[in-house]
Amino acid sequence: MSTLPVISAVDGSDGSLRALEWALDAARRRSAPLRVVHVRQYAHWAQPEVLSVGPPDLDDDPVLERARAHLRGRAGLPDAEYLGLVGAPSAVLPELSASAHLLVLGSRGRGGFASLLLGSNSLAAARDAECPVVVVPRAGRAGHDETPAGPGSPVVVGLKVDGPDEATLEFAFAEAARRGAGLRAVAAYPWPAQPWMMPGDMPPPVVVDQDVIEDETRVLAEGFLAPHRERHPEVPADTVTAAGDAAGHLVAASGDAGLVVVGRHRRHLLAPARMMGSVTQAVLLHAASPVAVVPPSAPDD
């Protein structure tokens, strides 16, 4: 049985070459082949002179040649394939993800405005891909040091104690094991507590003690982490419980993290389309480290 590849999406930008480095390391850690993909958009509805030229020649792709040159001469390279395709990257990349172990791309490519921290292709891939997607930010995002986190930097995972996803936790533990790193699970809880009220009702006094909520959150988090600790005894795992906005705590933790792992919303009857959720999107926008977005477990898992 062949090993699924790690796909690195490139577009010729410095950001995509930074993502290529991350994908190369991921392929080595997984003993997986590396597939470098460039998706060129062919505007067949464009001006007549464009129509007369026809679609681009996929055998002559300077973006793929730059990627080859970037890796040429490296020792211990995995099996690598360079693939040029035509289409909308936001549609083609999620389609390719169905036969990939991991999809890696930069946070913003050549087509983005300088003021945007997350490009539309990165957003679409993270939302729609069948496999986990790693988005690698530009260097020095959000004022952090441009030096990436070193070997052994922790893997940070967001843990929703009211709806944890096993696929997200398993991915985080497995990635920490591959890196020889520790794992930090961040479990946030809302505070001050907001009681449920009917319109016009007066808010009742808050009688729940914050220490009680924090202790309950920690107990729930430890219970969800327990089976993963058993499967990965080599991974030291800590739990951080924090009051307030989960996204803010995860972004703060990304400063010294090797990777931040977050889940994607599961589809349900009232929202059948794929969604990422506000926390995941905020982390993608602002985290200083690479971010892995993990599709939810199947309902029967």
Q: How far from chain centre, in Å, is Cα 158? A: 12
What is the separation, in whole angstroms, between the first and last Cα of the chain?
23
Residue 10 CB contacts under 8 Å (≥ 6 apart), including other chains = 16, 17, 19, 20, 36, 37, 38, 63, 64, 66, 67
**Range scoring the smallest mean pLDDT among 112-121, 183-192, 196-205, 278-287:** 112-121
Q: What is the mean pLDDT of residues 153-163?
A: 93
> Residue 43 pLDDT > 60, yes or no?
no
Q: What is the mean pLDDT of residues 249-261?
A: 96
Strands 183-189 and 237-243: parallel
Task: Compute the distance between CA of residue 181 and CA of residue 152 in angstroms, rounded to an integer.
Answer: 4
Q: So where are the chain's domains?
A: 1-140, 149-301
Strand order in the sheet with 102-106: 80-86, 34-40, 6-9, 102-106, 133-136, 291-294, 259-263, 155-158, 183-189, 237-243
Per-residue pLDDT band at 301 (split at 50, 70, 90)? very low
Check residues 63 and 141 and name the one with the higher pLDDT.
63
DSSP notation for 241-276 = EEES-HHHHHHHHGGG-SEEEEE-PPPBTTB-S---
Among left, alpha and beta (phi > 0; psi -120 to 50; other), residue 272 is alpha
Establish whether domains 1-140 and 149-301 are of one fold.
yes
Mean pLDDT of the chain: 83
Q: Is the CB of residue 255 less than 8 Å from the CB of residue 159?
A: no
Task: Compute the distance between CA of residue 262 and CA of residue 276 in angstroms, rounded to an integer.
Answer: 9
> Residue 28 pLDDT > 80, yes or no?
yes
What per-residue confidence (pLDDT) applies to 297? 78
Per-residue pLDDT band at 269 (split at 50, 70, 90)? very low
Residue 231: CB atoms within 10 Å? 11
What per-residue confidence (pLDDT) applies to 2? 64
Tell me the fold of 1-140.
Rossmann fold (3.40.50)
Residue 75: CB atoms within 10 Å? 4
What's the CATH number of domain 149-301, 3.40.50.720, 3.20.20.70, 3.40.640.10, 3.40.50.620? 3.40.50.620
What per-residue confidence (pLDDT) applies to 117? 45
Q: pLDDT tens digits for 215-245? A: 999 999 999 999 999 999 999 999 999 998 9
HSE (side-chain half, CA atoms, 13 Å) at 160: 18
DSSP notation for 22-64 = HHHHHHHHHT--EEEEEEE---TTS-HHHHHH-S--TT--HHH
Per-residue pLDDT band at 197 (split at 50, 70, 90)? low
Per-residue pLDDT band at 253 (split at 50, 70, 90)? very high
What per-residue confidence (pLDDT) applies to 107? 84
Bridge partners, 260 (sequence order): 156, 291
In which element (H, E) is residue 133 found?
Answer: strand 133-136
> Residue 109 pLDDT > 90, yes or no?
no
Q: Is the CB of residue 236 less than 8 Å from the CB of residue 130?
A: no
